[in-house]
Structures are given as structure tokens and as C-alpha cells.
Chain A
Amino acid sequence: MWLLVLFCLMIGLLIGMQVPVFLSVVYAKYMSIAVIAALDAVFGGIRAYMEDNFDTTIFVSGFVVNTLLAAGMAYLGDRLGVQLYLAAVVVFGVRIFQNLGIIRRYLLKKY
């Protein structure tokens, strides 16, 4: 399981490094929010997987929708003149750390 996750992450990183796609500076900010949301979704998925209540539909839809929504909210915030991306950063940051904490506890219990 862990090997699979790391392996796929590595493959993804390699592909991303090779693909000649460059974002303009304007969109880099939204991409960073999207990355945070994606990280949160992945940690949430791993946590659910360890808690044995993993649902593929919820996981995949959560990943896609959260990512797009986070970027969209950041964009909307910029249009409105409110730094809405800070809200996304805080919320996702908190959740990432919570999920990490739960994953750690499971791992400690397991081994």
C-alpha cells in the first residue's frame, strides 16, 4: 500500500517534470491552492482507507471537486478583492494535519 502510493507519486512527479507545461505567474497561485486541496484529498483518502470506510466515488469526486473548488474560490476572491485563498489554505492546512495525526496513530497502533 505505502509502496504503491510512493511509487505512483514518483511516477507522477517524473511525468510532470518531463511534460513541457509551464503555468503563467498569474495562474501559479491558483495551482498552488489546487495542490493543497489535492494533498488534503489524498491524505483524507489514505485515512479512510486505514479506517476501512474507503469509498472510491467519494474519494475521487472529493479530489476533483475540492481541487477545482479551491482554485475557483481563490480566483473569485481575487476578482472580489478578498484574499479568499487564505481561507482555503487555512482549512486545508488544518485538515491535512488532522488527517496526518490520525494516520500516525493508526500506524502506531498497527506496529
Chain B
Amino acid sequence: MRSKGAQISIAIVCMVLGIMLAIQFKTTESYQANLVPARVEDLTQQVQSVSEERDALVEEVLSLREKLKNVRETDQAMADLQADLQDANMSAGLIAVEGPGVIITVNDNPRELQPGDNPNFSLVHDSDLLMLVNELKTSGAEAISINGERITAKSEIRCAGTLILVNWNRIGPPFVIKAIGNPDMLESGMLIKNGYMESLKVLGIQATIEKAEKITIPAYSGSVKFTFAQPVKYEEKAE
């Protein structure tokens, strides 16, 4: 039975087997290259590098703003506009400011969670910070920051998982809200009966307010860029 036919068929089948093996090898190789853990690591690395890039860009923004300021200062023709510009920058949050005001510290309820407790009631939420900032503005605060993030006209205060986004930076408890303004006004505005501070305390959230003689509030570190909004021409505005 050891015929030519047998050998030929074995040869052909072996060839087919070889082709299948080779394709399988190739597929397995390329498959292992993008296994899930590798992908997670890859993404983590990407996030890290992008974050580093962002930090570098933030520094660049600050240094460029400094240079711009220097240029403006040397130009004597612009000198009369400096005061106006300073005011505009201050209200836009583009320069660090200091002055008397209050420091509010808000932290989660320190009590251990019992079974059945809703953890949402003992945490500080984005809405709490929003309300406090709103109250501060109502009480005449001129500059506000939360954990070193300057609140500007474009700042958001938003829940992001377990943390809170302010100026697209993540901040976590304890939250330190600094506000510059008349300290007595600010304090009485915040401690008003049935005010928001009081309702936070009722929930067990730690909220303290103290007056300070000198508070420094940093500048907004992001870039200010308008893509869609255009200033309306003076003539058009006049009518």
C-alpha cells in the first residue's frame, strides 16, 4: 500500500497544514500585540504624556503673558490704557490679586458610613460649591478661587466622577474657597439665617468660614481664546 498516491496525498495535506499553521502563527502574533492589558498601559501612558504637555503649556501661557505685560509696560504710548487694562484683566481673572476677604473650608462629613446610609448625603457636591460661589458673588466678592483655581467668567464647576472639575482641572476635598471683598459683608452674607452654609452644616458637612486680612488669589492659568464670539463694532453698538 506504500504507493505513490499515498505519498502525494500526504505531501499535499502537509502543505495545506503548513499554510494553516503559518497563517495561525501570524494571526496569533498580531493578536497578542494588541492584547487588552497592553492597550490599557498604552492609554495610561498617553494620558500621562498629554497631561505633561498640558502642564508645560500652562507654564508657557504664564510666561508669555508676563512677556506681553513687559512689552506693554515699555510702551509709553499705552501707559494711559494700563489702568483700564489692569481692571479688565482683574475682572477677567488674568492677574493674581490680593486683599482682605474670607476663607471658606468645606469638607465631607467625617462620620463613618453606616450600612444603609446614602453616601451622597455626606459628600461635597459640585452644586454645593456652585451655590457657595454664587452666595459669595452676591455678598460682593471681587475675586474667588477654589483650591487655587481662579473662578472666571468662563469657569465651570462640574462633577467629574469622584472629583470636581474647575477650569478643567480636577480638585478634591477639602475645598478651600478664597474670596476677596469686604470681610464683614462676606461673612455675614454667608452666615445668613437659612443660608447655604447652614444647610450644609445640617447635613453634617464641615463648613467653616474665617476672615483674613490678606488673601492672595492666583491668576487663571488657562488660555483665553474666543473662537466664535466677535466684538460688536462701536458704531453698531451706538445706535
List residues of chain A with CB under 8 Å of any chain B CB.
1, 4-5, 7-17, 19, 21-23, 25, 28, 31-32, 34-35, 38-39, 41-42, 45-46, 49, 52-56, 59-60, 63
Contact = CB atoms under 8 A, between A and B. Distances in A.
A23 B11 CA distance: 25
B9 A19 contact: no
Contact of A31 (B10, B11, B20): B20
Interface string B5-21: 11101111111111111
Q: Is the interface of A mostly helix, strand, loop or mixed?
A: helix
Nearest to B30: A22
Nearest to A4: B11
Contacts of B30: 22
Contacts of A52: 1-2
B10 A46 contact: yes
Contacts of A25: 27, 31
Given A21-B23, A28-B28, A1 B18 contact: no
A38 B14 CA distance: 9
A27 to B, nearest CB: 8
Contacts of B24: 23, 28, 31-32, 35
A4 B2 CA distance: 14
Contacts of A14: 18, 22
A12 B2 CA distance: 23
| Range of interface residues on B (Cβ < 8 Å) | 20 to 34
Interface of B: 1-2, 5-7, 9-28, 30-31
Contacts of B11: 4-5, 7-8
A42 B10 contact: yes
Contacts of A15: 15, 18-19, 22
B21 A13 contact: yes
28 contacts: A1-B7, A5-B14, A7-B11, A8-B10, A8-B14, A8-B15, A12-B14, A13-B19, A16-B23, A17-B25, A19-B23, A22-B26, A22-B30, A23-B23, A28-B31, A35-B20, A35-B21, A35-B24, A42-B10, A42-B14, A45-B9, A52-B1, A53-B1, A56-B6, A59-B9, A60-B9, A63-B13, A63-B16
Contacts of B15: 8-9, 11-12, 15
